[in-house]
């Protein structure tokens, strides 16, 4: 890759920004030489104000300035101010103190002739950046490399910082001295999250640098599948040529990564005519076909089992299912991504087809033959009808989608407000919907929406289970289980009274007892349907047990699987914003997550597997430091669950509007009385 990558020089770091403490001492002169007035009780001889600022020693910085020993405007041998060091170390309180004592906000210094804001941005320190911005720092100034703060934020791989600068109305396609845009840098750094944010906020896909390279060329240099996919999905021109006539694919061939490129292109659903479609036909037509297929599949599989000897029928029925699944996932869905498969109604239709044949078989075969079973038939039809009704209510209803119809101006206000409160992080902002995420909500990748108090996305239901649909889902589950059990009982009675004694056939050995062999011999269709229905019982029962456990302990499925990601499940004090330390932790956590995602998504299957197992292990690990702020005991949790927030301990909690656990205010008396008592929760604006 030689020629192209050689032109794209790596980012230089300012020597003064080094994290090595010995470097720091070298670049600063002793304080005594700056000021001869040494206070009697403070010995500053070993430290400079720059070092104290760097190391977060506010009291020393204060003493130095108050005693006249140093000034906020002092420069070291590299022309760097103490504010530079406070900013690069994210010591917000020191930076604020220095600014209040006359530090120059936009002082240029260091090898790269950069401002404190440049230093903070390059290191992704959002708290320092917001402080400097709020005191008038100019993010559009450039260092000696021609980078402004948006470029440096991209270099820091902190997507929240990138978002913040864009909403400060910085030009999203700002170009450095070699005319590289932030999107080119993000693509070159294999940072799909930042690429995604820049593209959605209007970054140009066709902008070129001084050698006519587009952002897609830069993604091709590193051939990160996720970045390539996001750029192509957004409409990047895969035939764009640089000044040497090279397309992105030519670059991919040079770096010998054609397979990765092909996979990325396949995953975008890009067709030969240049249009994108993840499905074989138009989306609507494909979905209709995928909805109908399971009805035919199940019909044919049941007929196969009914009319062929079991040792031929069973493998053949399984083969029919496998072939059908391959056709659906490889032919009808062109993009081989699980998320695209889950967006189709195929799995839900398998469930619906099963229910259809159970209902039809009951009407045409079982009802009249077992009409004397009043109770069983009434239980069956009642539970079957109500469970199917509740099923369609959940399928077609709103699980609790959080509205995202916000204007750019509203989004800007939100991002800046969150940044100022120290809450601009993945927990409080959905970077896809650009909305403030309420407590316990989550973005569903399949529905592509944020859902209030999300439990999980259910592929069989073909919708999310959230705050609005969780109760009806809990009506559906036990009803469906009862319905299957009563169907099995009715069918068994039907066979017992109708099936003649089993007549063995030598060419068709039956390894079951004579009774069951007789059932299959008499009515293979109903017998096969009974087996198929019974197979649904274990997973429905397990699901019900998990749900009962989770509601009893006031956790959602998402929280049980990912509790280590949510700080409100630990004994840490809640983050109510404005605290630089909390912010820094959030950023560190977020950055770690981003890096993990990059690794997982781009290459490391083993790592992913390992993560998966360690996640499961964590779920079952006993953690003494885990506390659940929503858990008020089993009884209260169930009261709260069924009363839709009208009663119980979390009375009047609106899961669309609550953003922090600090607003839960217990009333001791009410806890004792067990009947509703946590009064309405204050909104964060009232506290912060």
Annotated catalytic sites, by residue? 458
Rounded to a whole number of angstroms, the minimum distance from the CB of residue 253 to Zn ion is 37
Among 103, 162, 394, 447, binds Zn ion (CB under 5 A): 447
Residues 440, 551, 354, 317, CA torsion sign: positive
Using alpha carbons only, give the angle 642, 541, 632 rounded to the nearest 5 degrees.
Answer: 35
Instruction: Kindly state the tokens that stand for 29.
Output: 């002169």
Q: Which is nearer to Zn ion, 196 or 523 (CB)?
A: 196
Instruction: Kindly state the tokens that stand for 419.
Output: 């940044």
Residue 143 has phi, psi (to 5 degrees) of -85, -175
Among 457, 468, 470, 555, binds Zn ion (CB under 5 A): 457
Residue 450 makes contact with Zn ion by CB under 5 A: yes
* Rounded-to-integer distance, Cα 550 and Cα 582, Å: 29
Please say whether the beta carbons of 453 and 468 come within 8 A: no
> Under rule CB under 5 A, which residues in 213-272 are in contact with Zn ion?
none
C-alpha dihedral (257, 263, 268, 274), degrees to nearest 10: 70
Question: How many CB atoms are closer than 10 A to CB 69?
Answer: 21
Residue 434 makes contact with Zn ion by CB under 5 A: no
Q: Which stretch binds Zn ion (CB under 5 A): 197-205, 290-298, 303-311, 431-439?
A: 431-439
Instruction: Kindly state the tokens that stand for 107.
Output: 């002082």
Please say whether the beta carbons of 45 and 35 come within 8 A: no
Q: Which is nearer to Zn ion, 251 or 447 (CB)?
A: 447
Q: Which stretch binds Zn ion (CB under 5 A): 149-157, 199-207, 432-440, 623-631?
A: 432-440
Rounded to a whole number of angstroms, the minimum distance from the CB of residue 427 to Zn ion is 12
Residues 159, 165, 168, 169, CA torsion sign: negative
Q: Which is nearer to Zn ion, 67 or 432 (CB)?
A: 432
Residue 599, class by beta-carbon neighbours within 10 Å (0-12 exposed, 13-18 middle, 19+ buried)? middle
Instruction: Kindly state the tokens that stand for 209.
Output: 């640098």
Rounded to a whole number of angstroms, the minimum distance from the CB of residue 450 to Zn ion is 3
Residue 443 makes contact with Zn ion by CB under 5 A: yes
Q: Which is nearer to Zn ion, 338 or 515 (CB)?
A: 338
Question: How many CB atoms are closer than 10 A to CB 246?
Answer: 20
Q: Which is nearer to Zn ion, 294 or 459 (CB)?
A: 459
* Rounded-to-integer distance, Cα 565 and Cα 683, Å: 23
Among 236, 430, 576, 664, binds Zn ion (CB under 5 A): 430
> Under rule CB under 5 A, which residues in 348-407 are in contact with Zn ion?
none
Nearest to 668 by CA among 626, 632, 624: 632
Q: Which stretch binds Zn ion (CB under 5 A): 82-90, 141-149, 282-290, 449-457?
A: 449-457
Buried b / exposed e along 35-57 (16+ C-beta atoms within 10 A): beeeeeeeebeebbbbbbbbbbb
Binding mask 463-502 for Zn ion (x = CB under 5 A): -x--------------------------------------
Among 38, 255, 337, 446, binds Zn ion (CB under 5 A): 446
Instruction: Kindly state the tokens that stand for 386.
Output: 């109500």
Residue 163 makes contact with Zn ion by CB under 5 A: no
Rounded to a whole number of angstroms, the minimum distance from the CB of residue 430 to Zn ion is 3
Rounded to a whole number of angstroms, the minimum distance from the CB of residue 33 to Zn ion is 56
For tokens 């804001």, name the residue: 117
Q: Which stretch binds Zn ion (CB under 5 A): 100-108, 169-177, 259-267, 430-438?
A: 430-438
* Rounded-to-integer distance, Cα 150 and Cα 122, Å: 9
Rounded to a whole number of angstroms, the minimum distance from the CB of residue 421 to Zn ion is 20
Question: How many CB atoms are closer than 10 A to CB 533?
Answer: 20
Q: Which stretch binds Zn ion (CB under 5 A): 108-116, 234-242, 448-456, 544-552?
A: 448-456
Binding mask 38-57 for Zn ion (x = CB under 5 A): --------------------
Rounded to a whole number of angstroms, the minimum distance from the CB of residue 457 to Zn ion is 4
Task: Identify the three-state secondary structure at position 303.
Answer: helix
What is the 8-class DSSP label of residue 499?
Answer: P
Q: Which stretch binds Zn ion (CB under 5 A): 20-28, 301-309, 426-434, 671-679?
A: 426-434
Residue 414 makes contact with Zn ion by CB under 5 A: no
Among 432, 536, 562, 579, binds Zn ion (CB under 5 A): 432
Q: Which stretch binds Zn ion (CB under 5 A): 65-73, 117-125, 447-455, 530-538?
A: 447-455
Rounded to a whole number of angstroms, the minimum distance from the CB of residue 443 to Zn ion is 3
Nearest to 115 by CA among 104, 124, 123: 104
Q: Which is nearer to Zn ion, 464 or 474 (CB)?
A: 464
Question: How many CB atoms are closer than 10 A to CB 661?
Answer: 21
Rounded to a whole number of angstroms, the minimum distance from the CB of residue 408 to Zn ion is 17
Count the residues of the shown chain that bind Zn ion, applying the rule CB under 5 A: 10
Q: Which is nearer to Zn ion, 96 or 470 (CB)?
A: 470
- Structural Rg of the chain based on CA atoms: 32
Rounded to a whole number of angstroms, the minimum distance from the CB of residue 96 to Zn ion is 33
Instruction: Kindly state the tokens that stand for 240.
Output: 């764009």
Among 83, 433, 551, 664, binds Zn ion (CB under 5 A): 433
Q: Which is nearer to Zn ion, 347 or 464 (CB)?
A: 464
* Rounded-to-integer distance, Cα 585 and Cα 579, Å: 10
Task: Identify the three-state secondary structure at position 370.
Answer: coil
Q: Give the footprint of Zn ion on this chain (CB under 5 A).
A: 430, 432-433, 443-444, 446-447, 450, 457, 464
């Amino acid at each position: 890759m030689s020629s192209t990558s050689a032109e794209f020089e790596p980012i230089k770091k300012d020597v003064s920004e080094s994290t090595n403490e010995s470097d720091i001492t070298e670049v600063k002169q002793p304080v005594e030489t700056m000021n001869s007035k040494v206070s009697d009780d403070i010995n500053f001889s070993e430290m400079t104000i720059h070092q104290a600022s760097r190391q977060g020693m506010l009291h020393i910085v204060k003493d130095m300035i108050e005693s006249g020993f140093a000034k906020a405007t002092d420069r070291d041998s590299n022309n760097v101010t103490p504010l530079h060091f406070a900013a690069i170390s994210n010591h917000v309180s020191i930076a604020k103190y220095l600014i209040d004592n006359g530090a120059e906000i936009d002082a240029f210094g260091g090898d790269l002739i950069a401002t404190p804001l440049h230093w903070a941005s390059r290191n992704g320190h959002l708290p320092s950046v917001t402080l400097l911005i709020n005191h008038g720092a100019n993010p559009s100034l450039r260092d000696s490399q021609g980078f402004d703060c948006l470029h440096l934020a991209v270099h820091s791989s902190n997507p929240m910082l990138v978002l913040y600068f864009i909403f400060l109305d910085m030009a999203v396609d700002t170009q450095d001295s070699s005319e590289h845009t932030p999107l080119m840098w993000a693509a070159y750094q294999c940072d799909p999250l930042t690429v995604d944010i820049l593209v959605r906020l209007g970054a140009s896909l066709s902008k070129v640098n001084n050698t006519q390279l587009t952002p897609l060329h830069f993604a091709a240099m590193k051939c990160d599948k996720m970045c390539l996919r996001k750029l192509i999905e957004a409409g990047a021109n895969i035939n764009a040529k640089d000044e040497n006539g090279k397309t992105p694919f030519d670059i991919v061939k040079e770096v010998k990564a054609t397979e990765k490129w092909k996979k990325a292109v396949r995953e975008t659903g890009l067709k030969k005519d240049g249009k994108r479609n993840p499905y074989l036909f138009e989306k609507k037509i494909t979905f209709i076909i995928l909805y109908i297929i399971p009805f035919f599949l199940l019909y044919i599989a049941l007929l196969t089992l009914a009319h062929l000897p079991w040792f031929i029928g069973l493998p053949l029925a399984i083969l029919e299912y496998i072939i059908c699944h391959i056709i659906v996932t490889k032919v009808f869905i062109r993009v081989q991504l699980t998320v695209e498969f889950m967006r189709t109604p195929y799995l839900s239709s398998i469930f619906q087809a099963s229910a259809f044949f159970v209902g039809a078989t009951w009407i045409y075969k079982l009802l009249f033959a077992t009409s004397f079973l009043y109770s069983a038939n009434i239980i069956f039809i009642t539970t079957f009808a109500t469970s199917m009704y509740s099923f369609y209510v959940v399928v077609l209803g709103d699980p609790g989608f959080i509205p995202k119809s916000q204007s750019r101006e509203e989004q800007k206000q939100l991002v800046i407000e969150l940044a100022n409160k120290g809450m601009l992080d993945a927990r409080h902002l959905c970077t896809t919907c650009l909305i403030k995420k309420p407590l316990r909500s989550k973005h569903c990748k399949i529905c592509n929406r944020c859902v209030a108090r999300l439990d999980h996305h259910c592929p069989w239901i073909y919708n999310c289970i959230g705050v609005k649909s969780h109760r009806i889902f809990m009506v559906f589950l036990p009803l469906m289980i009862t319905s299957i059990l009563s169907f099995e009982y009715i069918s068994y009675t039907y066979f017992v009274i109708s099936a003649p004694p089993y007549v063995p056939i030598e060419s068709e050995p039956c390894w079951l007892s004579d009774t069951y062999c007789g059932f299959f011999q008499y009515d293979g269709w109903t017998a096969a349907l009974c087996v198929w229905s019974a197979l649904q019982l274990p997973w429905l029962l397990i699901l019900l047990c998990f749900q009962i456990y989770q509601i009893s302990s006031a956790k959602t499925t998402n929280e049980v699987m990912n509790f280590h990601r949510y700080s409100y499940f630990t004994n840490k004090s809640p983050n109510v914003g404005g605290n630089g330390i909390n912010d820094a932790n959030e950023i560190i956590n977020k950055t770690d997550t981003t890096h993990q995602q990059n690794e997982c998504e781009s290459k490391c299957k083993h790592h992913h597997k390992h993560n998966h197992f360690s996640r499961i292990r964590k779920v079952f690990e006993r953690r003494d430091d885990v506390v659940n702020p929503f858990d008020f005991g089993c009884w209260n949790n169930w009261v709260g669950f069924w009363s839709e927030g009208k009663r119980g301990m979390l009375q009047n909690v609106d899961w669309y509007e609550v953003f922090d656990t600090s607003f839960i205010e217990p009333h001791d008396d009410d806890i004792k009385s067990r009947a509703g008592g946590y009064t309405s929760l204050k909104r964060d604006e009232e506290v912060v």
